[in-house]
Structure 1
Amino acid sequence: MIAFLDSAGSSLPPREVLDEVVGHLRREAEIGGYAAARERADDLAAGYGVLAELLGAEPDEIAFTDSATRSWLAAFDAVPLGPGDRVLISEAEYAGTAIPILHRAREAGYEVDAVPSDASGQLDLEALEEALDERVKLVSLVHAPTNSGLVNPVREVVEAAHRVGALVLLDACQSIGQLPVRADELGADLISGTGRKWLRGPRGTGVLVVRRAAADRLRPRLVDLHGAEWVGPREVRLRRDARVYEIWESSVADRLGLIAAARHALARGLDVIEREVAERAGRLREGLAGLPGVAVHDVGVRRSGIVTFTVAGVAPQEVRDRLAAEGVVVSTSGASSTLLDMGRRGLDEVVRASPHYFVEPAELDQALAAIGGLRP
């Protein structure tokens, strides 16, 4: 029996997702990619409404991409930034977002400041209020960090940022699919996410939400003939909806799989999924806390389905490999991916377990028994 505890890495797709992807690839092999895509044009168009329903947005606020990274980069690149401006990040910032923020700052000349965490480990809301001023143009917030069970308080951050006119770009890579992530409730201006993690979609898929209220403040630059039209020898006309952030080429099979994954999550219910994931993660944390030599490293007032721990005397990557030999699939998270948070807590690397709702109690027991048996 395989105990799969790595949905924070790349989860297991349900049958309907697999059938959609494989079936379309077979159709492409029969009649070619263009003709196969035309056959599914209505389904592809309907996908904007499906993702909009999942994410509490309007269909014209949805863009499909090939990854959460592509979604985030397209949104960030469109935020006008220059000398005198400030960008705020949290200590839980992920390297995939921190690096482009810091790299662009060298050229654009804006300042980057990190808002500290409070005693619970989440972003300190009082410190945020003190850091905000009229020069802050963007707050980059990670909803559920990759290296702990933390869930950051999005709505409170958004309300504070909007009081000074700042945009909020929410990295929901680890939250879409395990938690309700609704733009209309959270209020974030931009939301990026992936298909391959908790949503149980294919790799190579992503989604971007661009709220109408924020669209006019953005300056999309990475556009091609899908996001814009060549209307004169020296003139182009950009789309007015979120699809300006898409590019022409994409995997139709994978996009259909992502739409199927979103439908699957909606049918099960995000509230149900959140409850089931929390129950499994809580059971795993409790079991780990009772094992000799095992330390759990999760923080925050509200917890996600990510459970991080270390085993005394055994390096995290060795833990991962030895567990794999016993049919338990986990991953690791190193300091370089969340440098500020890991440095603050004195951690070099942790083991990351992320049980989804399809993980059975017996599989959690299998994992706990295998971890309990590890010795240096």
Structure 2
Amino acid sequence: MSERIFLDSAGSSLPPEPVLDEVIGHLRREAQIGGYRAAQERAEDLEKGYDVVAELLGCRPDEVAFTDSATRSWLTAFDAVPLKAGDRILVTEVEYAGNAVPLLRRADETGAVIEVVPSDHSGQVDLEALGQLLDERVKLVSIVHVPTNSGLINPAKQIADKAHEVGALVLLDACQSAGQLDLRDTGADMLSFTGRKWLRGPRGTGALMVRNEVRERLHPRLVDMHSAAWVAPNEIELRDDARVFELWESSVADRLGLIAAVRYALDRGLGRIEAEIAERATRLRDGLSAIDGVEVRDIGVRKSGLVTFTVDGLGASEVKRRLYDAGVTVSTSDFNSTLFDMTKRGIDEVVRASPHYFVTEDQIDEAVDEVSRSVR
């Protein structure tokens, strides 16, 4: 474990030993016998990975696809949603730049319209306003479960239930919630996540869930010989499960590491993890709130393990540098990452501290003391 006080699991967390063992061990095996043979040896474990992720998400194994990132998962799902001129896409005020860019680009290409669902006084999606916006022209509702720039947890299930009343598809960005929240009852039709954050998996890993009942409504465009078969000179046949969204080439070592990370989380217990992270985040928020010159910037009724704050007279990058020099690792989030929300709240940047369950109470208190020293 790191000798530093590590408060950046919302960026890229610290993998536990079983994950390291899987990744490094498989790379060594590839060096001994070659990548193809090494993968063949682990074929059964790779196949079981679909069951492991299905348990995490509360879905069927044939509704799971592995990818190389949350971005790839989200883009693959979004790109498969049929859109035409006049179709409407609803997004939240905390939409992430990594989603907003392809949303805006595809809207420009197809003539679809993007509309922002207002938030209520707490900062979460206003369910009444959502209900007023929904009609049969809404083809997709894009939900950011936990944004990159605050501790908000959006009410995914309630949003999804309302969207389904008009037949809209629901795509849930669970990049910041997988590994810290229970995702088994989100109501989403499609769900994307990464391995490197709260799940404590390797970088370059992710997964996508696509419910069987909506898969036929989708048209995956990026397909290869893994996601489809060449059955005649002028004919291909797409897979009939979520693996139609996968590509043939991948890092077997990293995928084994992701599977190990998900299994590690399941063994610890999703409810236990959620409670432990919430407890640490609350302690950190309370400590920061007591410092003159520090403002906690988190919004929402229910809050996650992301704790965001600003310091009077100091930019977020300077706070990050000072804390790093003092042995505390945090990150920052700027205006361009969540433009709708940051514009509305008049914030240019925030410091982002994200304590996982392996961070002790004493370490949190020490981090608070270091922030206080930075202010002084």
TM bucket, shorter chain: over 0.9
Alignment partner, residue 147 of structure 1 = 149
> Is it true that 1:55 corresponds to 2:65 in the alignment?
no
Amino acid at match of 1:59: P
% identity of equivalent residues: 66
Question: What is the rounded CA distance, in whole Å, between the counterparts of 2:313 and 2:85 in structure 1?
Answer: 48
Cα shift readout 1:271-325 (whole Å, capped 9, x = no counterpart):
0000000000000000000011100000000000000001111110010011001
After superposition, the C-alpha distances for 1:151-189 in whole angstroms (9 at most, x for unaligned) are: 00011101110000000000000000000011xx22110
Q: Which residue number corresponds to residue 131 of structure 1?
A: 133
Alignment of 1:209-358 (within 5 A): 209-358=209-358
Give the letter for the 2:359 counterpart. V
TM-score, normalised by the number of residues in structure 2:
0.99
Between the aligned partners of 2:28 and 2:362, the Cα distance in structure 1 is 37
Written as runs of structure 1 = structure 2, the 5 A alignment for 1:103-142 is 103-142=105-144
Q: Which amino acid aligns with 1:310?
A: T
- How far is the alpha carbon of 1:84 from its aligned partner? 1.6
Cα pair 1:2 1:363 within 8 Å, conserved: no
Q: Which amino acid aligns with 2:247?
A: I
Match of 1:229, SS state, is strand
The 8 Å contact of residues 293 and 375 in structure 2, kept in 1 or not, is answered as no
Please state whether the residue corresponding to 2:374 is helix, strand or coil: coil
User: CA–CA distance in 1 between the matches of 2:375 and 2:360?
Assistant: 26
**Partners in 1 of 2:333 and 2:86 — Cα distance?**
35
Aligned to 1:17: 19
For residue 366 of structure 1, report the CA deviation from its aligned partner: 1.4
Give yes or no for the alignment of 1:96 onto 2:124: no
Aligned counterparts of 1:92 and 1:310: Cα–Cα separation in 2:
18
Q: Normalising to structure 1: TM-score of the pair?
A: 0.99
Distance 1:140 1:190 in 2: 10
Matched residue SS, 1:373: helix
Distance 1:86 1:292 in 2: 45
What is the identity, as a one-letter code, of the residue corresponding to 2:33? I
CA contact (8 A) 2:144 2:173 kept: yes
How far 1:246 sits from its partner (Å)? 0.4
CA distance in 2, matches of 1:198, 1:130: 35
The 3-state SS of whatever aligns with 2:90 is strand
Tell me how large the CA RMSD over aligned residues is: 0.7
Q: State the alpha-carbon separation in 1 of the partners of residues 159 and 213 from structure 2.
A: 17
Secondary structure of the 1:213 match is helix
User: 2:55 and 2:158 mapped to 1: Cα distance?
Assistant: 23
What stretches of structure 2 of length at least 5 have no aligned partner?
none
Alignment coverage as a number of residue pairs? 374
- Residue segments in structure 1 that go unaligned for 5+ positions in a row: none
Deviation at 1:375, TM superposition (A): 3.6
| AA aligned opposite 1:52 | A
Aligned-partner Cα distance in 1 for 2:247–2:181: 28
Query: Which residue is 2:83 aligned to?
Result: 81
Aligned equivalents of 2:320, 2:229: Cα separation in 1? 49
Return the alpha-carbon distance in structure 1 between the equivalents of residues 38 and 55 of structure 2: 26
Check the 8 A contact 1:95/1:339 in 2, yes or no: yes
Say if 2:202 is the partner of 1:202.
yes
